[in-house]
């Protein structure tokens, strides 16, 4: 017996191929620990999609046996199913979707969740609407026509959902106003209008990424009722919420300016340990103010390094820890050597007030330090 393609497991990744080359639709489904949803999902997709024209692509970042269960279910499934398991979940949900788009061969690519909150019966309806209206993108919307968010488990989640939608529309004013549900995880995009290379997704909001970076021409919408999760738990979390704000900032200001903004916030936060240490050393312990100020500066530089290294440049730690730390501390102290003469020039030469002069040296040093950080310490 020739093993069915569903049983072939490629090294590292899992592949199930053997699909006719011209396909009408590829359904891309990101999965993270969805073992108990796969059976029902494939069953309902099979009921509404013709086998010869369809492929199903799972992009999996699971830590459980979801990919194995997909392969098992695929054996009884008339639709060709492919699973790509990623060892590094780069970009999270959005990264998985983009990976799936790269492999998709259908003229339409439909993106949906695995937990049946998106009714599988919507897949042919989205494509039919797009074909009928000549659209590049068709969004499944909860916020227009007969759409609803009934499946959002509680009032808190409903508030987060509508709040983030309003915030997004404020940030992007005109360009997104024509889409009622830019946060939807259910949409169909015409493959010929898609530019996957432009997409740099960051977490859950992959449709937003596509709207902002690919600027699709004609956009259609089909309302649907967001369902209750079939089994398992949602992966949205507080950390995912923070990631969404970062994603919004990157889309709005660009990646480098967003890092500069974050660096500024971290720098400002460093004032707290700095002042606290200065107060403890100079006032409580009675140390002379010059060494106290230098020690306080060191503590603040340590604080800034910890936050910068763990939050801001987590993905660009190409140098060793000691290499990064040494350079960062050299910069933090060089800053002191630079600011004090500049301060003297501004106060004694230009006759500025001490506070104003100090502020100028802080801003100047901030810009210089950011450029060194972004160009020298953390290589691109």
Binding partner of residue 183 among ligand GDD, Mn ion, none, CB cut-off 5 to 8 Å per kind:
ligand GDD
Taking CB under 6 A as the binding criterion, the range among 90-98, 131-139, 300-308, 364-372 that sits at the site for ligand GDD is 90-98
Binding partner of residue 34 among Mn ion, ligand GDD, none, CB cut-off 5 to 8 Å per kind:
ligand GDD
288/151 Cα distance (integer angstroms): 63
Q: Which is nearer to ligand GDD, 168 or 297 (CB)?
A: 168
Please say whether the beta carbons of 222 and 140 come within 8 A: yes
Q: Is 165 in the site for ligand GDD (CB under 6 A)?
A: no
239-242 long-range contacts, CB within 8 A, separation 24+: 240/92, 240/203, 240/204, 241/160
Q: Is 115 in the site for ligand GDD (CB under 6 A)?
A: yes
Q: Is 209 in the site for ligand GDD (CB under 6 A)?
A: no
Task: Please name the helix (run of DSSP H) or strand (run of DSSP E) that holds residue 82, with its range, or none.
Answer: strand 81-85
111/89 Cα distance (integer angstroms): 18
Q: How far is CA 112 from CA 94, 154, 251, 290, 369, in A?
A: 11, 22, 22, 61, 43
Q: Is 71 in the site for ligand GDD (CB under 6 A)?
A: no
Judged by CB under 6 A, the residue of 34, 136, 202, 374 near ligand GDD is 34
Q: Is 153 in the site for ligand GDD (CB under 6 A)?
A: no
Q: How far is CA 176 from CA 167, 211, 213, in A?
A: 11, 8, 12
Q: Is 234 in the site for ligand GDD (CB under 6 A)?
A: yes
Q: Please, what is the minimum distance in Å from the beta carbon of residue 94 to ligand GDD?
A: 8
Count of residues near ligand GDD by CB under 6 A? 23
Task: Please name the helix (run of DSSP H) or strand (run of DSSP E) that holds residue 74, with its range, or none.
Answer: helix 66-75
Binding partner of residue 236 among ligand GDD, Mn ion, none, CB cut-off 5 to 8 Å per kind:
ligand GDD
Q: Please, what is the minimum distance in Å from the beta carbon of residue 282 to ligand GDD?
A: 48
Q: Is 100 in the site for ligand GDD (CB under 6 A)?
A: no
Q: Which is nearer to Mn ion, 117 or 184 (CB)?
A: 117
Measuring CA to CA, which residue among 260, 286, 256, 292 is closest to residue 274? 292
Cβ-proximal residue to ligand GDD, closest one: 185
Q: Is 309 in the site for ligand GDD (CB under 6 A)?
A: no
Binding partner of residue 30 among Mn ion, ligand GDD, none, CB cut-off 5 to 8 Å per kind:
ligand GDD
Taking CB under 6 A as the binding criterion, the range among 56-64, 248-256, 287-295, 313-321 that sits at the site for ligand GDD is 56-64
Q: Please, what is the minimum distance in Å from the beta carbon of residue 179 to ligand GDD?
A: 13
Q: Please, what is the minimum distance in Å from the beta carbon of residue 215 to ligand GDD?
A: 20
Q: Please, what is the minimum distance in Å from the beta carbon of residue 15 to ligand GDD?
A: 16
Judged by CB under 6 A, the residue of 84, 172, 204, 303 near ligand GDD is 204
Q: Give the DSSP letter string of 260-283.
A: HHHHHHHHHHTHHHHHHHHIIIII
Q: Is 31 in the site for ligand GDD (CB under 6 A)?
A: yes
Q: Is 328 in the site for ligand GDD (CB under 6 A)?
A: no
| 8-state DSSP, 225 | B
Q: How far is CA 152 from CA 164, 226, 257, 341, in A?
A: 14, 7, 34, 59
Q: Please, what is the minimum distance in Å from the beta carbon of residue 86 to ligand GDD?
A: 7
Q: Is 117 in the site for ligand GDD (CB under 6 A)?
A: yes
Q: Is 169 in the site for ligand GDD (CB under 6 A)?
A: no
375-379 long-range contacts, CB within 8 A, separation 24+: 376/327, 377/319, 377/324, 377/327, 377/328, 377/331, 378/313, 378/316, 378/317, 378/318, 378/324, 379/316, 379/318, 379/319
Taking CB under 6 A as the binding criterion, the range among 12-20, 53-61, 299-307, 354-362 that sits at the site for ligand GDD is 53-61
Please say whether the beta carbons of 273 and 299 come within 8 A: yes
Task: Please name the helix (run of DSSP H) or strand (run of DSSP E) that holds residue 293, with its range, or none.
Answer: helix 289-307
In the three-class reduction of DSSP (H, G, I as helix; E, B as strand; rest coil), residue 322 is classed as: helix
Phi, psi dihedral angles at 10 (to 5 degrees) = -80, 155
Residue with tokens 């936050």: 307
Residues near ligand GDD (CB under 6 A): 30-32, 34, 59-61, 89, 92-93, 96, 113-115, 117, 183-185, 204-205, 234-236
């Amino acid at each position: 017996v020739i093993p069915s393609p569903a049983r072939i497991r490629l090294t590292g990744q899992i592949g199930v191929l053997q699909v006719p080359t011209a396909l009408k639709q590829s359904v891309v489904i990101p999965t993270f620990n969805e073992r108990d949803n796969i059976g029902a999902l494939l069953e309902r997709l099979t009921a509404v999609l013709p086998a010869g024209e369809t492929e199903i692509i799972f992009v999996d970042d699971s830590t459980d046996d979801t990919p194995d269960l997909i392969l098992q279910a695929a054996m009884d499934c008339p639709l060709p199913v492919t699973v790509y398991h990623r060892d590094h979940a780069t970009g999270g949900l959005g990264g998985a979707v983009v990976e799936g788009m790269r492999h998709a061969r259908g003229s339409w690519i439909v993106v949906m969740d695995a937990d049946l909150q998106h009714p599988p019966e919507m897949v042919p309806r989205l494509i039919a609407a797009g074909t009928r209206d000549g659209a590049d993108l068709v969004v499944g919307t909860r916020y227009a026509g007969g759409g609803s968010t009934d499946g959002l488990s509680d009032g808190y989640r409903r508030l987060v959902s509508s709040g983030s939608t309003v915030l997004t529309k404020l940030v992007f004013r005109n360009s997104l106003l024509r889409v009622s549900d830019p946060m939807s995880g259910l949409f169909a995009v015409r493959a010929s209008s898609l530019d996957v290379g432009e997409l740099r997704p960051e977490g859950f909001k992959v449709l937003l990424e596509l709207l902002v970076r690919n600027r699709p021409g004609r956009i259609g919408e089909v309302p649907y009722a967001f369902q209750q999760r079939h089994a398992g738990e949602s992966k949205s979390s507080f950390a995912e919420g923070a990631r969404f704000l970062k994603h919004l900032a990157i889309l709005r200001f660009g990646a480098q300016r967003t890092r500069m903004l974050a660096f500024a916030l971290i720098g400002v936060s460093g004032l707290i340990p700095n002042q606290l240490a200065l107060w403890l050393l100079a006032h409580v312990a009675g140390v002379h103010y010059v060494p106290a100020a230098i020690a306080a500066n060191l503590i603040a530089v340590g604080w800034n390094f910890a936050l910068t290294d763990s939050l801001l440049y987590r993905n660009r730690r190409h140098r060793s820890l000691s290499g990064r730390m040494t350079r960062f501390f050299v910069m933090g102290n060089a800053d002191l050597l630079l600011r004090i003469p500049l301060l003297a020039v501004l106060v004694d030469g230009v006759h500025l007030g001490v506070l104003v002069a100090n502020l100028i040296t802080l801003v100047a040093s901030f810009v210089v330090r950011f450029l060194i950080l972004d160009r020298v310490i953390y290589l691109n």
